[in-house]
Amino acid sequence: MMGTYGHDLRFSRAQQARAFLLRTQRSDGSWWGRWGVNFIYGTWSALAGLRAIGEDLNAAHVRRAVQWLIEHQNDDGGWGETIASYDDERLAGCGISTPSQTAWAILGLLAGEDGVSDAIRRGTDYLLTRQRRDGQWDETAFTGTGFPRHFYLRYDMYRNYFPLMALGGVRRRLAGDEVQS
């Protein structure tokens, strides 16, 4: 939000937010997530916030986060994470691919790098090939978090609006980046 309203790293609250993110980043490059399951969601959210306040995308913590997302892409091109990652962090970024979690990873990569990487393209293909004729996506996994380890949700629209956000972001990136398209 700070970046949306024109605040960057010269703003003391943005500096404090950045310090919090650097302090809470896991050594593998990911961040814990609260409203979506779990580290994929948290990593996207942190990268989006850092980019919005003008963080250097070449900074080591950004590169580690991008690499973490890339390393957790499934063979089918999507991303997924089980709710069990709240109980066992060794499961961070592990699970069957879902539309919402794939979208979060794509949005995280769009925030953490310029251009359109192969991982973004593979994730985009995952979303496009699984979109139903009516424009929606199927998703039965719990990808929303009410209270970690206690209460999980299946927000019915996560499966639709996050993929649309990601596909829109890829489209905008491709339209502005002739070299990558």
Compute the mean pLDDT over every residue in the chain, rounded to the nearest whole number: 93
Region of 7 please: left (phi>0), alpha (psi -120 to 50) or beta.
Answer: beta
pLDDT tens digits for range 1-22: 888 888 888 888 989 999 999 9
pLDDT tens digits for range 121-172: 999 999 999 999 999 999 999 998 888 888 788 888 999 999 999 999 999 9
What's the pLDDT at 2? 87
pLDDT over 90, % of the chain: 80
The angle, 0 to 180 degrees and rounded to 10, between the axes of the packed helices 118-130 and 99-112 is: 150
Class (C level, CATH) for 12-176: mainly alpha
What's the pLDDT at 177? 58
Q: Is the pLDDT of residue 181 over 60?
A: no
What's the pLDDT at 180? 38
